[in-house]
Amino acid sequence: KGGMFLSTLCRPAVIAFFAATFLVQLSHGPYYTFFSVMLEDQGFNRSEIGYMWSLGVVAEVVAFIFMHRMIGRFGVRGVMLFSLLMAVVRWAVIALYPTNIVLLLMSQLLHAFTFGALHSTGVALVHNFFDANTQGRGQALFSSVGFGLGGTLGAVLSGMFWQSHGSMVSFLMASIICAVALILTYTWVYPIDKAGAKN
């Protein structure tokens, strides 16, 4: 089992997938750590900030409800690539238009893709990459690399960038990081069939 798990991890598609997973959560650092602070600095009150966070949660829940249909129609890879593109757009919008409430609300709706869809496609790809005997370790690694390592490092680095360069640079860096994840995914990440070929 251990050898099978390691051989799966050595596949280029799997390596690129975990790298993209790490980068996506890394890019969320400024959002989870400083989004509310940024909004307060721009003059939004606590109620408005709360509404924005709530909108993101609602968008995420809706994404989970319809994700099975989306993946069935566009495929795991198609949904993942589109969601990564939306992440690039979302962080760039927040960086460049921090006072535009309409664009900020639209960016919160994109949480359906930058978290909901990316999490769902990630789980689906782990299920695709790993067999029944290694599923548990694959899912544990998915959570550890993304939410664990990526999320923690993202919070630390965003604090450093925020203090030295401010919100615009921090969110633009997040957008660039997601662009790298998009390129990795487009180039390397494909679902694998039983024989190990690309679907």
Could you tell me what percentage of the chain is helix, strand and coil, using 3-state DSSP and rounding each to the nearest 5? 85, 0, 15
Q: Is the pLDDT of residue 198 over 60?
A: no
Average pLDDT over residues 43-71: 95
Q: How far apart are CA 92 and CA 54, in angstroms?
A: 21
The predicted-structure confidence for 153-173, as pLDDT tens digits, reads as follows 999 999 998 989 999 999 999
Q: How far apart are CA 103 and CA 93, in angstroms?
A: 7
- State the pTM of this model: 0.93
pLDDT confidence of 2, banded at 50, 70, 90? low
Q: What architecture does CATH give domain 2-188?
A: Up-down Bundle (1.20)
- Whole-angstrom Cα distance, residue 154 to residue 185? 20
Residue ranges covered by each domain of the chain: 2-188
